[in-house]
Structure 1
Amino acid sequence: MAQPLSALPPRTGPAEQAALNAAYGRLAASAHLLPIKVTRFYADKLAAELAALGHTEGPLHRVVYPDAARLSTRAPGEVADFVDDRSNMKTASRTIVQKYADRVLFLATPLCAAHCQYCFRQDVLTEMHGEDPADLAVSLAALVEHVTADPRIREVILSGGDPLTLSPKALAQVLDALGALPQLQSIRVHTRCAVFAPGFFDKGDKIALLARPRVRVVHHVVHPYEICGEVGDLLARLRAAGVRQYNQFPILRGVNDDAGLLALHLRLLDEAGVRNLSIFAPDPINHSAAFRLSLDRLFAIHDQLSADTPSWINATALTFDSPQGKFRREHLVARDRAAGTALFRHRGRDIAYHDLPAALDVPGDPATLLWRGESVI
């Protein structure tokens, strides 16, 4: 039975949101979290969401602004850096991370167009923001040396930060250097700029750079409302230019934690010519409980998506990350529900995982998640 309106908790309005933002600023300074940063382009989407809902608890607001749970809710097992990027850094500049024999991650920049509240690399990026920026020429030379010294490496993944925030000259410098290495089969560019600042793609000759052979662009679109007309036009222009486009995104409580929403999202991406690679669970990092789901609900949503959609939608994998690399739900070998822990085993190595307590896992309201009222599964 639905609760009467008088029994529902009060929603957060702009004044209350401003107070939360100020409190979050203080927390971010002490807990190595990224400060709030929102582009004008995304702010226009937030204004439309606020006008429709009358509060700031909509899915896009939660992407970039904190709610009360972000500030106050903690879960067992939270750590600063669950995937332990630091232990896998290969140079003093800390721009090269390698967890797999055949691929390398290059942190081309610590900067992003905007900051996602759910970012899993907050601790490392906050630390990098506080240092003198690494000289790109120096870190790129170290990357080339590292790759050429190991013929097993077949792929370089450009991340950060967001490599699309680099200037056209700097991006060309990176892609020129990597394109000259015949051992590389793929150069991946991971970005949120399509939804935060699509104009970045039109600076200089970035689209032509991304259309080069072996380059793959991996977007991180998390919600169907991020694909507005301007974003859709950008995806179409990238496709027309011959850019190979993919997507991957986290499943986030209060943002997209609904099977019907996920089906809609994956269908819109497919119609835009973007292949979704995976849906991944947020890492159990400090102050992440506001976004995480319990394993039981993750699996239930994934099962519903698999049962109710065609293969070109449900082929998307549900994945987790760890210091040893990605793993999947089928790698689960044991659970201790009383202790709230799970054990996964992948590539012969055990991965301990702290589940989110069920009491903290309050599902997002579908009427809020899809406030435009779309028909879904």
Structure 2
Amino acid sequence: MTTNLKQPAAPDAAWQAEVRAGVRHVRDLASLPLSAAERAVMQEAAAAHKVRVPKPYLDLIDWSDANDPIRAQVIPSPGELVATEGELDDPIGDHVFSPVPRLTHRHADRVLLFPTYQCAVYCRFCFRKESLTSIGRGYTSEALEPALVYIDGHPEIREVILTGGDPLSLPDKALAEIRARLEAIPHLRLLRIHTRVPVALPSRITSGLVEALQGRLMVTVVTHFNHPRELTAKAEAACRTMRQAGFVLLNQSVLLKGVNDKIEVLEELCRELMYRLGVKPYYLHHGDLARGMAHRRTTIAQGQALVAELRRRLSGICNPAYVIDLPDGGGKVPLTASHVEGRDGETWRIRGQDGKARSYSEVVADC
């Protein structure tokens, strides 16, 4: 007598099933608990820019709250269709600094490499959403070869940043292939990965994925948590898996009106990222000039006030740098207000975190 026992799903099958169970197409929006009026106003925005939300992230949304901060990040809204003068298709100048397809070389010692233009989750505020919608191509080794040849031919490059698209949406085999090709280039030292997978699809962080990325190169994973509600037990477990593999974990958030522009929200996010997930808050980005995102951008002055208060409330290790990625390839520039108020010779006037200005006289030896 033969007994057929159902085998447990493989780890890969689990995360792939969560992608399939979420929103993958515009038509899937019909299954969401929205009114007919809400569904009608989002259709045009959904058609203009890609929609994808894995089930674990979809489950975080409080559908009774029209202003829910998780919903605001991934569910289309009519505000996206309102283009404001000054907004740009390519806000940070990716295309201008692209000498070969799928690569951006803006800074001497590092490059952005785009193995895929597909994401596990499509954020409505993404500064590359125009490109991701129009390109829509996945990974092939042939498509990436000109970029890899370029990296091999530029010995000044020390660091390769996998971005896109989301590189961790690729299969383990593809990640291992990319990693092996990069680590064979002798002048490379570090592999950095920009991803939203630990936030939106934490089950994707498997032992197979970790193994695919381990090799000669140091590995840094830069996550993208924007709100404390994203710090789930599964996200915590995913980060623990990567930490135990020896990966350095950093986080970059985007300052978004109606999502995380309150000091209490940012304080909890930054504290718990470091203390609970072991992820260093790295950057807090001022909103880029992506089209249709004026309704989500704060002013720079509002951002400066928030980070000044964060500095008063949190340990230095929990504080991100508030930066703006300047248009036309100007790079990331800190926006934190200076505490230096003036100088008279070797005596400086510096305002402390308590708001009081003090004199500081330099004492140095003559050599």
TM-score range, shorter chain: 0.7 to 0.9
Question: Secondary structure at the residue paired with 2:150?
Answer: helix
In the comparison of the two structures, how many residue pairs are matched? Answer: 301
Tell me how far 1:267 sits from its aligned partner.
1.1
Tell me, which stretches of 5 or more residues in structure 1 are unaligned? 1-12, 29-33, 333-377
Residue in structure 2 matching 1:104, options 99, 111, 126? 111
Taking the aligned partners of 1:57 and 1:284, their CA distance within structure 2 comes to: 22
Contact 1:17 1:56 in 2 (8 A): no
Residue in structure 2 matching 1:81, options 90, 94, 101? 90
Give the alignment's TM-score, normalised by structure 2.
Answer: 0.77
Post-superposition, which runs of at least 4 consecutive aligned residues in structure 1 deviate over 6 A? none
Give the alignment's TM-score, normalised by structure 1.
Answer: 0.75
Residue in structure 2 matching 1:209, options 202, 208, 212? 212
Tell me how far 1:207 sits from its aligned partner.
1.5
Tell me how far 1:118 sits from its aligned partner.
0.6
Amino acid at match of 1:193: V
Tell me how far 1:71 sits from its aligned partner.
3.7
Contact 1:267 1:313 in 2 (8 A): yes
| Greater C-alpha Rg | 2
Residue in structure 2 matching 1:303, options 305, 308, 311? 308
Contact 1:186 1:216 in 2 (8 A): yes
Contact 1:210 1:243 in 2 (8 A): no
Contact 2:79 2:293 in 1 (8 A): no
Partner residue of 2:284? 279
Contact 1:110 1:160 in 2 (8 A): yes
Tell me how far 1:330 sits from its aligned partner.
5.7
Tell me how far 1:331 sits from its aligned partner.
9.5
Partner residue of 2:72? 62
Deviation string, structure 1 residues 275-314 (Cα, Å, up to 9, x no partner)? 1211011111210112111122111112111222221223
Partner residue of 1:124? 131
Question: What are the residue-to-residue correspondences of 1:144-293 with 2, within 5 Å?
Answer: 144-202=148-206, 205-212=208-215, 213-271=217-275, 272-293=277-298
Aligned-pair Cα RMSD in Å: 2.0
Deviation string, structure 1 residues 70-92 (Cα, Å, up to 9, x no partner)? 344x433112111121111111x
Taking the aligned partners of 1:303 and 1:148, their CA distance within structure 2 comes to: 43
Taking the aligned partners of 2:212 and 2:233, their CA distance within structure 1 comes to: 24
**Greater relative contact order (Cα < 8 A, sep 6+):** 1
Instruction: Say if 1:170 and 1:112 are closer, same or farther in 2 by CA, change over 3 A.
Output: same
Instruction: Say if 1:36 and 1:141 are closer, same or farther in 2 by CA, change over 3 A.
Output: closer
Deviation string, structure 1 residues 162-194 (Cα, Å, up to 9, x no partner)? 000111111100001111222112110111111
Q: After the TM superposition, which of the residue ranges 219-228 and 155-164 deviates more from structure 2?
A: 219-228
Contact 1:14 1:56 in 2 (8 A): no
Partner residue of 1:324? 330
Partner residue of 1:341? none
